[in-house]
């Protein structure tokens, strides 16, 4: 890993010694979690079809709230027992008739055996789903290639001076000296464009990105990224009633750590938002919240299937005392559509501009657009936001802040760029980084895993419950 870090180090930017040490500690911690295994042949990688799952605490009668433990023994395509861990799994239980769903907890014994723990939240038949997203060989390769450089995505900037438009290559690593640099005020993050010959750097107006026909993977690695159904069956249990603690039921999310309020009417939502200044920051998954709330309050039919960030979205004054504003995060922002960079700032800079206070509400999410890039870029950005929140909460400790985790996304997307494996690493970093601050954490990853959501922009059920959690925290 140290060799990779030296070989692919970006243009140097300023970080405090404390933050540099923190970045290294995070990378080392994640590296120790990763499987150390090389892909040699598809038949020596983990096979879902050959692997075996069994309930190890089987009994005739279970109570709601009891734990069900499934043991999974992994085998390769040859039929040999795997001797290493690190397979990337997606596990859940559900009962379709009840619209009830929950995720499970995985214990990796690092020897090819896993225990999956499910809490039984409801009565009736339970369908157990264990899905192998990436074999350990694929997970190891994904971690290696993620940290090798910035070559998966290309950026094209448009510099404008009156009627003159000049396009130029942009990115986090560019050779040469004739560059325009765009950074946050703390100089932690920098983004560059080749400077046009006759236009100033300040004339950069539009930006767009494209997937390069490039891969860090060796051809043999690509076959290891298989999404395979490992085990799925219906198991019936006779459950006695001991109370409910947390799960999806009748399309409603019930967390174990709090009770979500219901907001069935626009009047209740208006009452909740009264005299509030709300800032939704990040990517299109928090823009879904904005779109949902605006359409709900305006009585417009809600369709969240087409959510994007190519067009600017300004603040919405709900009335004289309320405002609801969405701001997307700055570089990297990955979309082939041109978007303006003139009204977009680094999130840390945005936070430093806020006065804060008891009526200021901030929701932040980031991660999806960072998946195609080295993890150190994401870590630096999270550290920068953490520092900005420290400053904000120091001057205005009553400010309410919600950190929203990433959603799951489409399983058919290019694994090297966008796999949920990358999202899970981002999730672990965010969850750990902000635990020392007085902020709320919304586990959107768990919500979307449990509901088997396979879209980066989940359906109305998921968004409605995420917004209800957000409103519950406000009110």
Last residue of a domain, one of 240, 272, 300: 240
329 lies in a domain? Answer: yes
Same domain for 317 and 235: no
Same domain for 314 and 342: yes
81 lies in a domain? Answer: yes
Same domain for 232 and 280: no
Residue 259 pLDDT grade (very low, low, confident, very high; cuts 50, 70, 90): confident
Same domain for 282 and 236: no
202 lies in a domain? Answer: no
pLDDT at residue 137 tops 50: yes
247 vs 464, more confident: 464
Whether the pTM exceeds 0.75: the reply is yes
452 lies in a domain? Answer: yes
Tens of pLDDT, residues 389-439:
999 999 999 999 999 999 999 987 688 999 999 999 999 999 999 999 999
At 65, which CATH number?
A: 2.60.40.10
User: What residues contact residue 127 under an 8 Å CB cut-off, 6+ apart?
Assistant: 93, 94, 95, 96, 232, 233, 234, 235
At 347, which CATH number?
A: 3.40.50.1110
173 lies in a domain? Answer: no
The pLDDT value given to residue 97: 92
Q: Which stretch of 260-264, 279-283, 356-360 has the lowest confidence by average pLDDT?
A: 260-264
What mean pLDDT do residues 146-166 have? 94
The encoded tokens of residue 426 equal: 């981002």
User: What residues contact residue 262 under an 8 Å CB cut-off, 6+ apart?
Assistant: 468
Residue 320 pLDDT grade (very low, low, confident, very high; cuts 50, 70, 90): very low
2 lies in a domain? Answer: no
Domain count, the chain: 2
pLDDT at residue 66 tops 80: yes
Same domain for 314 and 236: no
Same domain for 268 and 236: no
340 lies in a domain? Answer: yes
Last residue of a domain, one of 177, 212, 240: 240
Tens of pLDDT, residues 434-459:
999 999 999 999 999 999 999 999 99
For helices 420-433 and 17-33, the axis angle rounded to 10 degrees is 130
Residue 93 pLDDT grade (very low, low, confident, very high; cuts 50, 70, 90): very high
Domain that holds residue 59: 42-142+225-240
The pLDDT value given to residue 308: 47
For helices 136-146 and 420-433, the axis angle rounded to 10 degrees is 70
Tell me which H or E stretch contains 280. strand 277-282
Same domain for 272 and 374: yes
Same domain for 231 and 304: no
């Amino acid at each position: 890993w140290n060799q990779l870090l030296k070989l692919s180090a970006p243009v140097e930017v300023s970080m405090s010694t404390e933050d540099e040490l923190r970045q290294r500690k995070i990378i080392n911690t994640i590296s120790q979690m990763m499987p150390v295994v090389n892909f040699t042949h598809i038949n020596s990688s983990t096979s879902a079809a050959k692997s075996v799952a069994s309930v190890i605490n089987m009994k005739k009668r279970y109570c709601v709230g009891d734990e069900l433990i499934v043991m999974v023994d992994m085998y390769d395509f040859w039929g040999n027992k795997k001797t290493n861990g690190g397979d990337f799994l997606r596990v859940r239980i559900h009962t379709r008739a009840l619209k009830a769903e929950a995720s499970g907890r995985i214990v990796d014994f690092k020897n090819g055996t896993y225990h999956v723990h499910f809490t039984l939240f409801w009565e009736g038949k339970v369908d157990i789903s264990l899905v192998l997203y990436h074999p350990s060989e694929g997970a190891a390769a994904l971690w290696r290639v993620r940290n090798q450089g910035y070559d998966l995505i290309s950026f094209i900037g448009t510099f404008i001076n009156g009627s003159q438009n000049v396009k130029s290559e942009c990115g986090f690593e560019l050779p040469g000296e004739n560059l325009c640099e765009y950074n946050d005020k703390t100089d932690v993050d920098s983004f560059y464009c080749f400077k046009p010959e006759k236009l100033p750097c300040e004339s950069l107006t539009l930006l767009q990105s494209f997937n390069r026909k490039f891969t860090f993977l060796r051809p043999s690695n690509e076959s290891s990224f298989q999404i395979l159904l490992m085990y799925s069956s219906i198991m019936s249990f006779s459950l006695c009633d001991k109370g409910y603690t947390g799960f999806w039921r009748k399309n409603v999310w019930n967390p174990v750590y709090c009770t979500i309020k219901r907001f069935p009417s626009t009047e209740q939502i208006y009452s909740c938002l009264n005299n509030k200044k709300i800032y939704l920051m990040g990517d299109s998954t928090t823009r879904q919240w904005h779109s949902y709330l605006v359409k709900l309050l305006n009585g417009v039919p809600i369709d969240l299937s087409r959510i994007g960030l190519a067009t600017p979205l300004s603040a919405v004054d709900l009335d004289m005392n309320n405002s609801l504003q969405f701001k997307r995060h700055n570089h990297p922002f990955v979309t082939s559509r041109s978007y303006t960079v003139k009204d977009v700032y680094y999130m840390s800079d945005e936070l430093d501009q806020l006065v804060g206070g008891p009526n200021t509400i901030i929701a932040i999410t980031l991660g999806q657009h960072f998946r195609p890039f080295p993890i150190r870029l994401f870590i630096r950005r999270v550290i920068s936001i953490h520092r900005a929140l420290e400053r904000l909460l120091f001057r205005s400790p009553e400010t309410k802040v919600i950190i929203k985790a990433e959603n799951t996304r489409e399983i058919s997307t290019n694994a090297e760029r966008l796999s949920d494996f990358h999202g899970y690493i981002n999730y672990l970093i965010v969850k750990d980084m902000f635990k020392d601050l007085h902020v709320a954490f919304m586990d959107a990853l768990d919500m979307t895993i449990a509901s088997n959501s396979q879209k980066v922009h989940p359906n109305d059920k998921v968004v409605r419950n995420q917004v209800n959690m957000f409103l519950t925290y406000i009110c």
